[in-house]
Amino acid sequence: MAAAASALGSCMAQIRGFRLDDLDALYRICLATGDAGADAAHLYRDPKLIGHVYAGGYAAISPESVFVAEDDEGVAGYILGPAGTRAFEAQMETQWWPPLRARYADVAGPPASPDERMCHLIHHPARLADSIVEAYPAHLHINLLPRLQGQGVGRRLVDRWRAKVAALGATGAHLVVGMRNERAVRFYRAYGFAEIERLSGPPEAIVFGIRTGADEE
């Protein structure tokens, strides 16, 4: 019975392009999966902060490569990420970060809380080495609420997103995942992402890469 329900849920989940009225769902899911895949609501005084860093800018600047997974209860997952990381970062500097920097002060020392870490990232966005970005120019973030996990929805989202960024000219894609998020690490390995590098952090993380387009394998 459980297997049948899981299969039914997978069939019912629709993958579609982002709409402006999905923005609140992106923020909600980002927070609900922000603690190494678990709910991070208890960690943040400002529940919008993590979404400002990892979701909102993507919807504003590269909405064409944002996709959501929606079932009969609503949007419960997403994948987002630009085809060109360096161009995206440049647009974030002119369009997304300035108003947030005016609203959120930088922290004077090492971040002492999740809120402070997000404030630090608003003022000092993470930037991977040129050698990684040149080889894998697109990058992505993907998050699913528990009710859509384990049903193949994540694979469908990645398939859809890879096809889109390949059509936009990306020859490869990378992502960074915290080593605490063991479920995500297993998913990326099973999908076919290859480990490129390990980051000492904090937090400790793995950089994965994959080719896009017809010659990816």
Model confidence pLDDT, tens digit, residues 120-174: 999 999 999 999 999 999 999 999 999 999 999 999 999 999 999 999 999 999 9
78 in any annotated domain = yes
116 in any annotated domain = no
Q: Among 199, 194, 198, 190, which Cα is nearest to 209's? A: 194
CA dist 176 and 193 (Å) reads 11
Residue pLDDT, tens place only, 67-125: 999 999 999 999 999 999 999 999 999 999 999 999 999 999 899 999 999 999 999 99
CA dist 93 and 105 (Å) reads 16
What's the pTM?
Answer: 0.91
Both tokens assigned to 173: 């894609």
**Strand 138-139 and strand 172-178: pairing?**
parallel
**Preceding omega of 98 cis (within 30 degrees of 0):** no
Q: What is the CATH number of the domain that holds 192?
A: 3.40.630.30
40 in any annotated domain = yes
Q: Among 34, 23, 36, which Cα is nearest to 68's? A: 23
Both tokens assigned to 115: 């809120």
153 in any annotated domain = yes
108 in any annotated domain = no
Q: Quote the domain boundaries for residue 75.
A: 2-97+128-211
Q: How many domains is the chain partitioned into structurally?
A: 1
CA dist 24 and 30 (Å) reads 10
At 108, phi and psi to the nearest 5? -75, -35
CA dist 182 and 148 (Å) reads 17
166 in any annotated domain = yes
23 in any annotated domain = yes
* Burial of 103: CB neighbours in 10 Å, binned 0-12, 13-18, 19+: exposed
103 in any annotated domain = no
